[in-house]
Amino acid sequence: MSEQTFKKVITNHPFIVKKEDVCNGSPIIEGTRTRVIDIAIEYEVLGHSPDVIIDGHPYLNLTQVQRFTEAGDLFSHSRRR
């Protein structure tokens, strides 16, 4: 069996990475399997506050969620490039 090496792609955002072997390469929050698009939908579409998002994703911290929300358009980070 051959060993595959998966590389981590760093993005312009400090908490967002892409890994080929996690969530089919969709941008995720580093250290988790949470896709950025999921957080973007909760914030921008459903209108959840950062506190509500943290309640649903307790492994995230307020700083991470606030930086996403302050960055503006979360959907720009969630698209595959």
Kindly report, residue by residue over 29-57, the tens digit of the pLDDT.
Answer: 888 889 988 988 999 899 999 999 999 99
3-state secondary structure of 4: coil
- The structure's pTM equals 0.70
Residues 34 and 40: beta-carbon distance below 8 Å: no
When pLDDT is cut at 50, 70 and 90, the band that residue 4 belongs to is very low
pLDDT over 50 at 1, yes or no: no
What's the average model confidence in pLDDT over 15-32?
A: 86
Residues 50 and 65: beta-carbon distance below 8 Å: yes
Residues ≥6 apart with Cβ < 8 Å to 24:
none
Kindly report, residue by residue over 67-78, the tens digit of the pLDDT.
Answer: 777 655 555 555
**Class of the CATH-defined domain 8-78:** mainly alpha
pLDDT of amino acid 49:
93
